[in-house]
A = this chain, B = another copy of it.
Amino acid sequence: MTELSFYIAMVGTVAFASSAVLSLAEKRADLFAASVIGILTAIGGGTVRDIVLDVPVFWASDLSYVWVALGTTVVTFYAYSIFQRRTLPRLFLYVDAFATSMFAIQATYKVWDLEFGLPIAPVLLGVISAFGGGIIRDVLLERPTMLMSRDLYAVPVVLGCICFTLILTYAWEYRIWGYIACIIMIFVIRSAAIRWNLRVPNWATMGYARASPDAGK
């Protein structure tokens, strides 16, 4: 399980570092700035999680996360031009969704395993770990944080973390399948939202009755 968690986090690191660099394309960043942002995006969410948990930051004892993030940044920096320019923003969304799914479920497992603030902290810190890196990236780049988009962005992550916490609590023997299934669930819902431009339905948002100018017509 720990090993699975390690590989999942590694794949998430690669995905988040490359998503950060893809989002830098239009900013004409240099390799040094790209490396700083790539690494901070990849390890930021987990670092915030570990600081809140008051455990040593995960990359202190195993620098492979940082090296992998650095390597991914360099490769993406030089290789990104092989992508069609038009596909880049879309590709970035999928890669970001992939990393988000992985970090959410991996953090939920870590917090649950430490028996920290059960049952709500695994969900809360899962969400923070998943969005932390992306929020750091968006703040550094002055992009709108994705959390506020009307897309189905927060919904699948919160649902996935809740599901996995329920599995860990009530069906511990299926935890490995649950681990993988919850990651896939988050990624599939989020990908569907990107692909078909799904949005949170109006009746589920604040101010449905009055806030929108054409509501009630």
A residues in contact (CB < 8 Å) with B: 21, 24-37, 39-40, 47, 51-52, 54, 56-57, 59-60, 63, 66-67, 70, 77, 80-81, 85, 116-117, 120-121, 124, 127-128, 131, 135, 139-142, 144-145, 147-148, 150, 153-155, 158-159, 200, 204-207, 209-212
Contact = CB atoms under 8 A, between A and B. Distances in A.
Given A30-B155, A127-B36, A120 B211 contact: no
B211 A35 contact: no
Contacts of A206: 21, 24-25, 27-29, 34, 77, 80
Contacts of A141: 148
B120 A32 contact: no
B204 A33 contact: no
A90 to B, nearest CB: 17
Contacts of A135: 140
Given A28-B150, A57-B52, A60-B121, A210 B140 contact: no
Given A51-B52, A207-B25, A144 B142 contact: yes
A101 to B, nearest CB: 15
A71 B205 CA distance: 17
A147 to B, nearest CB: 6
Nearest to A62: B117
B35 A158 contact: yes
Given A29-B206, A155-B32, A39 B124 contact: yes
Contacts of A155: 30, 32-33
Contacts of A40: 128
